[in-house]
Amino acid sequence: MANKDLALFTKADLEKELKVFIETFSEAPKKKLSCALNFAIKKYADYPHRSDGPFINHVLRVPVWLLQNGITSFPIIIASFYRYAKEDAVEMAHHCYEDKIKEIIKLITEKDYSDKEKETRFDLRLSDFENAVESSIEAGLILLSDYFDSRIDFIKNHDVDKKINWSKYNEPRIQLFLEKLLLKIEIKQGIDLNVREISGILRKDLDFAKQTLQPV
């Protein structure tokens, strides 16, 4: 895990970290990364704030968390900017990137289930999440980064009902990270991630979620 507290980073700090990384590439990939960064900055600028600040900061912390934890893969970083993209933006991405990046983006973006009942939406999104984690280490790493950054918002929120909702939503996802993704990472060469430390944090979160969901 990185030592820097990303919760303290401003939007300008995050942009600077990302631009320094982008400059390490040759012209063609640099242009694609810059395009993805600019897309995110424009797309999420007016999204509602979260407990931990502007939504755009969360979006930019996802790739920065990956970079600070040793994940520097071009396809992973570029796809991470599209985590919250809607279908129109995903279609645009499909015209700009090679198949591997397009597949990661397809796996990590949430589908529109607004016409479904609440419990059905929950089940469908969990199924999509499980498919992403099982299908692609790259997609799983982006979702892991997104989870770790979303913990910031959760930790700063003291509403009991929101803690229960957070626990219900994340308990099965934490299980998937522990039982699927991290086991894959341990046996795959070339991924510099502190699996032991991350597993420890996830297990504590899982214990908290289970305790929160226990009937009083």
pLDDT digits (tens, 9 = 90+) for 72-114: 999 999 999 999 887 666 666 666 788 889 899 989 988 888 8
Q: What b/e readout covers 20-49, taking b as 16+ CB neighbours within 10 angstroms?
A: ebbeeeeeeeeebbebbbebbbebbeeeee
Considering 134-138, 155-159, 210-214, the range whose residues carry the highest mean pLDDT is 134-138
**What is the reported pLDDT for 110?**
84
**What is the reported pLDDT for 168?**
92
Mean pLDDT along residues 122-148: 94
- As a whole number of Å, the CA-based R_g of the chain is 17
Mean pLDDT along residues 177-201: 87
Flag whether pLDDT at 10 surpasses 80: yes
Rounded CA separation 213/164 (Å): 6
**Domain ranges across the chain:** 6-213
Between 212 and 96, the higher pLDDT residue: 212
pLDDT above 70 covers a percentage of the chain that reads 92
pLDDT band at 143 (very low <50, low <70, confident <90, very high): very high
pTM of the entire structure? 0.91
3-state DSSP of 124-152: HHHHHHHHHHHHCHHHHHHHHHHHHHHHH
Rounded CA separation 58/155 (Å): 14
**What is the reported pLDDT for 4?**
67
Q: Give Dmax over CA atoms of the chain in angstroms.
A: 59
pLDDT above 90 covers a percentage of the chain that reads 56
Flag whether pLDDT at 29 surpasses 80: yes
Between 94 and 24, the higher pLDDT residue: 24
**What is the reported pLDDT for 11?**
93
Helices (H), 23-73: 27-43, 55-68
> Phi/psi of residue 52, each to 5°?
-100, 15
Mean pLDDT along residues 177-181: 93
Q: What b/e readout covers 172-182, taking b as 16+ CB neighbours within 10 angstroms?
A: ebbebbbeebb
Please name every residue paired with 53 in a beta bridge, in sequence order, or none if there are none. 50
Flag whether pLDDT at 180 surpasses 80: yes
Q: Which CATH architecture is the domain 6-213 placed in?
A: Orthogonal Bundle (1.10)
Per residue in 55-76, pLDDT (tens digit) is: 999 999 999 999 999 999 999 9
> Phi/psi of residue 53, each to 5°?
120, -165
Q: What is the mean pLDDT of the chain?
A: 88
Per residue in 34-53, pLDDT (tens digit) is: 989 998 998 888 888 877 78
